Chains A and B, each alone.
Chain A
Amino acid sequence: MNCSRVRRSLPLLAGKDLPAGKARRVEKHLEKCPDCRKKVEEIRAALAEVRAIADRSTLDWPEAEWRHLMARVKSGSPKPGRRPLLLPGLTRKSWAYAGAFILVLAAAILILKIVRPQPTPATLAEITVSTPTQPARALSMKQALLAPSPQDRPFTVFEDRKGPARVMLAAGPVPGKPAQEMMSMTLVSQKTGLQVHWTWNRNFEWEEKKK
């Protein structure tokens, strides 16, 4: 061991607070190093001097003050013992760790919610594209009125006489099929061929397309 390492251990060696193995190594060094030996002797002498004075200089309560203090203490009463813990075997420290963990978890969830972008609702156009449409069928008014069930709708109805087209919309749930999410209507002008396509979703948000 070199002197700088030994000197760090000398205050503890002087008070016999060094582990036995290390103390032996330091003492071995001291046998051949007068400087380190001088230093440890100085620490021992300083400790002995302070201890000697401390042992001989103590303070005590004046008797009257002590009596008064004891009377004051005894006028109270010892507090009841600690309340039992919620679960036996769990110390206050355990509860503190559990509480801290829950707080960290809650903070992490909150941060994730703030940082992570909220999914925006799909636009009507996107829903329209992704929803398979039933092909419309062209029926005469007579056929439409006699249609046996709603699954035959939607359809475009042509009047027998010349004039604007009338359109009938599908309505009501179809037995055995999922509830309808979308509803659409196409108006066709027989004069110009202009087609106006209206689409509604279940919230009655609508979109119009012209061809």
Chain B
Amino acid sequence: MVELVLSGRTEAFEPLVTPYRKLLLTLAYRLSRNMEEAKEISQETLLRAFRYLRSFDRKRSFKNWLLQIEMNVWRSLPTEAPDETALRQMASNSAPEEPEGSLDGKEAREKLLSCLDELSPREREVFLLRDIEGRSVKETAQVLRLSGIAVRVHLSKAREKLRELIKDRFPELLEGRR
């Protein structure tokens, strides 16, 4: 697909990136917590991906390459205030069947997602890539251009902070799980 785009068939770019359209927008929102900024980040990510497609190393994962561009774009933008409307929209996009013991109600889910706001930007980046997007520590380090040790340190702090926040705000969740 990459070769097709580079050979001049630009229409092949859309099927190349469509599998990642939700991922890029959602991750951008979780990083910036502002819907307008999230759209701006994803848009710039796709523009850059198209523009610099020739420099993409075919041995690497295309998904990781896109994530790396998105992280660079997010870091280069000035931070804007969190946007509560999008958070509510995100929390309401839940599946109809909810697993037993999970949070009921959009409001509670909003609150739980807002716990991520308490993390530092670097902790949030590492946590989202490793724990939410399921990248390995090595892949996370590559995407963020950090060492494996640095990733583990930020990850450890992020998980510990989340445990404390959830224990403080939703003690029933931790009780119910054990």
Contacts and interface: CB of A to CB of B under 8 A. Distances in A.
B135 to A, nearest CB: 12
Contact of B159 (A11, A41, A79): A11
A180 to B, nearest CB: 71
A65 interface: yes
Contacts of B160: 11, 43
B11 interface: yes
A36 to B, nearest CB: 13
A105 interface: no
A52 interface: yes
Give the interface size class of chain A. Answer: 35 or more
Interface stretch (A66-74, A137-145, A186-194): A66-74
Contacts of A70: 13-14
A47 B159 contact: yes
B99 A80 contact: no
Interface in B15-38: 21-22, 25-26, 29-30, 35, 38
A181 interface: no
B131 A15 contact: yes
A50 B163 CA distance: 10
A60 B112 contact: no
A91 to B, nearest CB: 13
Given A46-B162, A52-B99, A80 B54 contact: yes
A89 B115 CA distance: 46
Nearest to A45: B177
Give the interface size class of chain B. Answer: 35 or more
Interface in B101-142: 102-103, 109, 112-113, 115-116, 130-132, 137
A59 B26 contact: yes
A45 B178 CA distance: 7
Given A73-B13, A79-B51, A46 B163 contact: yes
A61 interface: yes
Contact of A17 (B38, B95, B155, B173): B155
Contact of A59 (B5, B14, B29, B103): B29
Nearest to A40: B163
Nearest to B148: A17
B166 A46 contact: yes
Nearest to B28: A59
A14 B166 CA distance: 16
Contact of B10 (A47, A53, A57, A74): A74
25 contacts: A11-B159, A11-B163, A12-B156, A15-B131, A44-B177, A45-B178, A46-B162, A49-B170, A51-B132, A52-B99, A53-B94, A57-B94, A58-B93, A59-B25, A59-B35, A59-B90, A59-B93, A61-B39, A70-B13, A70-B14, A73-B50, A76-B50, A78-B5, A78-B52, A78-B54
Closest 9 CB pairs of A and B: A45-B177, A11-B159, A11-B156, A56-B94, A74-B10, A81-B54, A46-B166, A46-B163, A57-B90
